[in-house]
Structures are given as structure tokens and as C-alpha cells.
């Protein structure tokens, strides 16, 4: 049976991927730093092929411990992210908040690659984002962190070969994180972007889950960024 570890699988895109993979017959382990979210996710999924572990992708000891429990796996997918404090005017953004973004978005996947060692049999897939390609004022550190993943993926694809290493780069996706970003203005902002996109709509977690699943299944894809953004890079 195929085993997949989803780091950040307790909510949003990671949860949607976990649900999809369980339906496809995978055994799935989800890891996240919030034990309450992990418990809630497990209760919602209610599946005998699901296991959970608490782990903080920004903490090396935590990731080392995680891979002490997960001795081998076919795939690892990293969807963990926390961009809540990564936006704001350059002169107002604290160094601490900037480092938090980099620790989670860039060094986190690097730590996963470091400690997974020979435990991954087939692929490692990380999550980039549209900010790398269509940055916004006030989002410099988020753009930088997402862009850095392209170089990381290419380097790891060589160093970890024959394990495949790729990234999925979503555009705007309607997930709970938008409640933090936009509050009551969420629906207005998403609708405005939907009108701009060639696809004519905002993405859903299921759209991104399907993209991750396709990357896992394609044994000839490595060192690649798969864009799933509704055409956002074009407008």
C-alpha cells in the first residue's frame, strides 16, 4: 500500500489532499504543529488508514523526531505555511516576522529533506505560490520565500535522486487563511480577482489537491514547478 506523509495536512489544501489520497487507497500520515487541529482533522476524516503526528516544520528537533516515527514512506508532501505575519510595509515588517516566514516556507522543506534521508522512496513535493511570480507591494518576504523554493527544488532533485522533488505553485485559493488576511472583505477581494483570472474563478483546495496527486503519480517529473493558478501569471 502506498504511504504518503502530508506535513500541514490538518487544514486547507493539505486536508483536501489527505482526503483525496485516502479515497485513492493511500495510507496517509498527517503532521501539523497544532494538536487540536490534528485531532479535529482526524475526527472529520474518520479513516482507519490515517495516522497523525504533532510536528513543527520550523523546528529541526521536531522534524528529526517526526522521521524517527515515520521510518519509511513513498511520498512526502509539504503544505505547511504561515504567512499571516509576512505582509506589511517594508519599513514596518519586523525581522522576527520575516524570519518566521523563511523558517516555515524555505528552511522547513530543507529540514524535511535533510532528515528524511533514505526514508522517502518516491517523491518529495513542496508548496510554492503565486507571490513568487506576481508579487504585491507589502509582500516582499513572502515573494522571496516562495521564489527561493524554485532553486531549492532543482538542487534537491539532484541531491536526492532518484527520489523526485517538485513544487506545486497555487494561485489564489479560497481557504480559511483568507479570513485572517481579509476578514469581512474576503468575498469582495476573491470575487474581484476571479473577474481578472482567465479561468474565471478562484481556486479551491480540491483543485490544488488534484495537482499534488498528479505530481505524485508522475514518475518522470522532477525539478519542476507545477503552476495551478487559474492563469494568474498571465494577468
Q: Parse the chain into domains and list their residue ranges.
A: 3-176+204-234
Q: Give the model confidence (pLDDT) of 60-77 as tens digits.
A: 999 999 999 998 999 999
Q: In what order do the strands lie in the sheet with 3-7?
A: 50-54, 27-32, 3-7, 73-78, 120-127, 164-170, 225-228
CA distance 80 to 87: 17
Q: Report the C-alpha gap between 155 and 77 in whole angstroms.
A: 17
Give the predicted TM-score (pTM) of the model: 0.95
* Res 83: pLDDT: 73
Instruction: Note down pLDDT in tens along the chain; length 235 residues.
Output: 999 999 999 999 999 999 999 999 999 999 999 999 999 999 999 999 999 999 999 999 999 999 999 989 999 999 998 777 788 888 989 999 999 999 999 999 999 999 998 899 999 999 999 999 999 999 999 999 999 999 999 999 999 999 999 999 999 999 877 777 677 888 899 999 999 999 999 999 999 999 999 999 999 999 999 999 999 999 9
Q: How far is CA 228 from CA 49, 94, 129, 210, 218, in A?
A: 28, 31, 9, 10, 16
Angle formed at CA 54 by CA 63 and CA 177, multiple of 5 degrees: 100
> For residue 126, with 0-12 CB atoms within 10 Å meaning exposed, 13-18 middle and 19 or more buried, which class applies?
buried
Closest CA to 209 of 49, 35, 41, 21: 21
Specify the DSSP class assigned to residue 103: I
∠ CA 60-61-66 to the nearest 5 degrees? Answer: 95
Name the residue with cell 488508514: 49
> Which CATH superfamily hosts domain 3-176+204-234?
NAD(P)-binding Rossmann-like Domain (3.40.50.720)
> How far is the C-alpha of 186 from the C-alpha of 183, rounded, in Å?
6
Tens of pLDDT, residues 178-221: 777 677 888 899 999 999 999 999 999 999 999 999 999 999 99
The half-sphere exposure of 119 on its side-chain side, counting CA atoms within 13 A, is: 19
In angstroms, the CA 136 to CA 103 distance is 21
> CA 60 → CA 103, 115, 124, 128, 137, distances in Å?
10, 9, 18, 21, 32
Amino acid at each position: 500500500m502506498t504511504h504518503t506523509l502530508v506535513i500541514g495536512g490538518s487544514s486547507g489544501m493539505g486536508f483536501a489532499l489527505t482526503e483525496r489520497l485516502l479515497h485513492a487507497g493511500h495510507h496517509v500520515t498527517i503532521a501539523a504543529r497544532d494538536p487540536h487541529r490534528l485531532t479535529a482533522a482526524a475526527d472529520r476524516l474518520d479513516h482507519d488508514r490515517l495516522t497523525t503526528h504533532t510536528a513543527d516544520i520550523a523546528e529541526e528537533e521536531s522534524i528529526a523526531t517526526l522521521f524517527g516515527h515515520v521510518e519509511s514512506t513513498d511520498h512526502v508532501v509539504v503544505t505547511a505555511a504561515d504567512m499571516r505575519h509576512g505582509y506589511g510595509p517594508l519599513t514596518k515588517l519586523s525581522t522576527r516576522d520575516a524570519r518566521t516566514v523563511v523558517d516555515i516556507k524555505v528552511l522547513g522543506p530543507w529540514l524535511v529533506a535533510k532528515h528524511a534521508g533514505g526514508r522517502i522512496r518516491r517523491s518529495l513535493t513542496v508548496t510554492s505560490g503565486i507571490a513568487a511570480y506576481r508579487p504585491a507591494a507589502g509582500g516582499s518576504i513572502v515573494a522571496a520565500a516562495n521564489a527561493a523554493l524554485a532553486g531549492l527544488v532543482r538542487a534537491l532533485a539532484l541531491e536526492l535522486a532518484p527520489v523526485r522533488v517538485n513544487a506545486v505553485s497555487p494561485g489564489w485559493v479560497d481557504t480559511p487563511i483568507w479570513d485572517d488576511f481579509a476578514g469581512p472583505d474576503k468575498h469582495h477581494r476573491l470575487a474581484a480577482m476571479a473577474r481578472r483570472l482567465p479561468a474565471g474563478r478562484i481556486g479551491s483546495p480540491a483543485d490544488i489537491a488534484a495537482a499534488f496527486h498528479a505530481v505524485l503519480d508522475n514518475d518522470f517529473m522532477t525539478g519542476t514547478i507545477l503552476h495551478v493558478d487559474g492563469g494568474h501569471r498571465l494577468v
